[in-house]
């Protein structure tokens, strides 16, 4: 947008029209630069050696590739795999060595026994427990997938928070620079007697306010940037985010709801319910005792005579009292808990997805409409205020109010985009679209 010359109307005023034109031109130049560059401009100060801007995809990729996350996931899965190996492993054999000496009138009677025994699962309980451990391993794998989705959502939240703060800092920083330049113009005009002392003091106050707001927004941006860098790379040299705050339009609601059933957290509950069912089947077979079979050799010495023979033993516990009742009850309760948690989670996710989808549609439309209309509206407001000031129909107060309103419009447009983006990230996470 280019500034158009405005011919002031000849009105009675205490101030020369020339100084009003000079001051209004300075103000208008400041607003023009702000309106054209605030949405896309990043805070100044970046050196040529600064890291290249980082996109949302880059931030998620770098964040999930961190060694500590990979180690955490691998160790968690490895622990569950060890449980599977333990559940399917046979019991260790037992070696019994015995020696018994008895003195008798006929001499020393010595007996030696060596026996190796092994327990056998004749009821198939070990196989069921191994299958249950495999189901729990699948649940752990689903948990790690859910963990990755949540980490990706956190990274995306921090990325767009940094982007939002970046654009706010750019808008207020550019505003502060324009106010500083205009304040210097007013100061020079006041020294020449062309501007009243009140106008000079008011511009000095506006300049101080703009500087303070710029410093606050810059501090908020640096905080958000370092928090993002803590998840994606080296906080000592963070890369600045680049992208659009306003998200794309969401997919059809039916497609999003259909994807909820594939959410890793739901699959984990289903797998744990299956593992508990297998545990209950194993507990039902507790009435089938494990059989321990021993085989060995026994030798006896009586005086000078020595005899030896084979030892065969069978040991069977009698299931009179414990038939696995407690294990069956515990496993059935755990299965019911897992299924109930899955149903509750599914219902909540369905409701959240519907609500977020409706919210995102409205926020997206509001953000886009506001961004398209606010720029034209704020420029028209400033143009009218400038014309009134040049014509002597208003004071500098009304003109500054118009410029402050334009800045607030810019900030509101960014806020609407940030709110829409947060809703989009939450909806993506619920529907299992974590952009991994």
Q: Any long-range contacts for 43-46 (C-beta under 8 Å, 24+ apart)?
A: 43/166, 43/169, 43/170, 43/173, 43/218, 43/221, 44/173, 46/240
The region of weakest confidence among 44-48, 267-271, 283-287 is 44-48
DSSP 16-71: -HHHHHHHHHHHHHHHHHHHHHTTTPPPS---TTSPPPB-HHHHHHHHHT-HHHHH
CB 314 within 8 A of CB 122: no
Q: Please give the pLDDT value at position 374.
A: 80
In the three-class reduction of DSSP (H, G, I as helix; E, B as strand; rest coil), residue 5 is classed as coil
| Overall average pLDDT of the 222-243 stretch | 89
Does position 16 have pLDDT exceeding 60, yes or no? no
Q: Please give the pLDDT value at position 15.
A: 44
On average, the pLDDT of the chain sits at: 83
Q: β-strands 305-315, 107-120: how paired?
A: unpaired
DSSP H or E run through 108: strand 107-120
What would the two tokens of residue 99 be? 């020696």
The region of weakest confidence among 119-123, 201-205, 344-348, 377-381 is 377-381
Residue 325: Cβ within 10 Å count:
12
* Predicted structure pTM score: 0.79
Sign of the alpha-carbon torsion through 130, 135, 139, 145: positive
Specify the length of the chain in residues. Answer: 436
Could you tell me the pLDDT band of residue 28, with boundaries at 50, 70 and 90?
low
Encode pLDDT of 381-432 as tens digits.
877 877 887 777 776 777 778 778 888 888 999 999 999 999 999 999 998 6
Residue 433: Cβ within 10 Å count:
16
Alpha helices (H) along 234-324: 253-259, 264-284
| Overall average pLDDT of the 296-322 stretch | 85
| Overall average pLDDT of the 158-184 stretch | 88
The closest alpha carbon to 87, from 129, 28, 40, belongs to 129
> Rounded distance, CA 410 to CA 405, Å?
9
The conformational region for residue 108 under phi > 0 = left, psi -120 to 50 = alpha, else beta, is beta
CB 381 within 8 A of CB 398: no
Q: Please give the pLDDT value at position 49.
A: 53
| Overall average pLDDT of the 280-298 stretch | 91
Could you tell me the pLDDT band of residue 14, with boundaries at 50, 70 and 90?
very low
Residue 293: C-alpha distances to residues 120, 156, 223, 288, 315 (Å):
8, 61, 70, 15, 6
Encode pLDDT of 268-282 as tens digits.
999 999 999 999 999
Question: Between the ranges 6-20, 201-215, 317-331, 333-347, where is the mean pLDDT highest?
Answer: 333-347
Encode pLDDT of 118-145 as tens digits.
999 888 899 999 999 999 999 999 999 9
The closest alpha carbon to 6, from 394, 393, 390, 392, belongs to 390
| Overall average pLDDT of the 96-111 stretch | 79
Sign of the alpha-carbon torsion through 227, 229, 234, 239: negative
Does position 64 have pLDDT exceeding 50, yes or no? yes
The closest alpha carbon to 394, from 23, 32, 34, belongs to 23
Q: Please give the pLDDT value at position 9.
A: 33
| Overall average pLDDT of the 93-117 stretch | 84
Encode pLDDT of 162-171 as tens digits.
999 999 999 8
CB 189 within 8 A of CB 259: no
| Domain extent listing, the chain | 56-316+344-431
Does position 367 have pLDDT exceeding 90, yes or no? yes
The region of weakest confidence among 10-14, 23-27, 233-237, 409-413 is 10-14
Q: Please give the pLDDT value at position 10.
A: 35
Does position 26 have pLDDT exceeding 70, yes or no? no
> Rounded distance, CA 42 to CA 174, Å?
10
Q: Which is more confidently placed, 23 or 135?
A: 135
- Domain 56-316+344-431: top CATH class: mainly alpha
Does position 362 have pLDDT exceeding 50, yes or no? yes
What percent of the chain is predicted at pLDDT more than 90? 51
CB 373 within 8 A of CB 2: no
Rg, Å, the chain Cα set: 39
Find all residues with CB under 8 Å of 235, minimum gap 6, and list them: 226, 229
Q: Please give the pLDDT value at position 41.
A: 44
CB 27 within 8 A of CB 407: no
DSSP 65-107: T-HHHHHHHHHHHHHHHHHHHHHHSPPPPEEEEEEEEEEETTE
């Amino acid at each position: 947008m280019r500034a158009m010359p405005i011919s002031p109307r000849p009105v009675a005023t205490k101030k020369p029209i020339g100084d009003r034109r000079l001051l209004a031109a300075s103000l208008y130049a400041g607003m023009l630069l702000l309106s054209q560059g605030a949405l896309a401009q990043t805070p100044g100060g970046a050196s040529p050696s600064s890291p290249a801007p980082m996109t949302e995809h880059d931030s998620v990729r770098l964040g999930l590739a961190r060694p500590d996350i990979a180690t955490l996931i691998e160790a968690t899965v490895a622990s569950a795999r060890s449980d599977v190996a333990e559940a399917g492993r046979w019991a260790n054999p037992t070696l019994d060595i015995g020696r018994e000496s008895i003195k008798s009138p006929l001499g020393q009677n010595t007996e030696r026994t060596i026996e190796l025994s092994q327990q056998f699962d004749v009821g198939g309980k070990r196989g069921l427990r191994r299958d249950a451990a495999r189901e729990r391993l699948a649940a752990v794998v689903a948990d790690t997938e859910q963990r990755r989705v949540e980490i990706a959502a956190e990274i995306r939240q921090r990325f767009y928070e940094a982007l939002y703060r970046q654009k706010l800092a750019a808008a207020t920083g550019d505003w502060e620079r324009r106010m500083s330049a205009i304040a210097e113009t007013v100061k020079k005009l006041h020294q020449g007697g062309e501007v009243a002392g009140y106008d000079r003091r008011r511009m000095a106050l506006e300049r101080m306010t703009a500087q303070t707001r710029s410093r606050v927004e810059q501090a908020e941006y640096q905080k958000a940037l370092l928090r993002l860098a803590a998840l994606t790379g080296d906080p000592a040299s963070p890369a600045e985010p680049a992208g659009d705050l306003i998200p794309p339009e969401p997919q059809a609601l039916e497609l999003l709801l259909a994807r909820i059933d594939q959410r890793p957290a739901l699959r984990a509950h289903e797998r744990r319910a299956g593992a508990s069912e297998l545990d209950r089947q194993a507990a039902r077979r507790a009435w089938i005792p494990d059989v321990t079979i021993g085989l060995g050799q026994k030798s006896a010495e009586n005086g000078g005579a020595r005899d030896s023979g084979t030892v065969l033993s069978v040991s069977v516990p009698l299931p009179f009292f414990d038939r696995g009742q407690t294990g069956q009850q515990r496993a059935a309760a755990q299965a019911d808990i897992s299924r109930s948690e899955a149903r509750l989670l599914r219902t909540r996710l369905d409701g959240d997805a519907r609500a977020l989808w409706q919210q995102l549609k409205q926020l997206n439309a509001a953000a886009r409409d506001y961004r398209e209309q606010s720029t034209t509206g704020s420029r028209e407001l400033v143009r009218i205020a400038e014309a009134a000031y040049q014509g002597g129909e208003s004071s500098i107060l009304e003109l500054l109010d118009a410029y402050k309103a334009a800045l607030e419009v810019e900030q509101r447009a960014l806020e609407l985009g940030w709110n829409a983006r947060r809703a989009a990230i939450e909806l993506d996470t619920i529907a299992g679209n974590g952009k991994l």
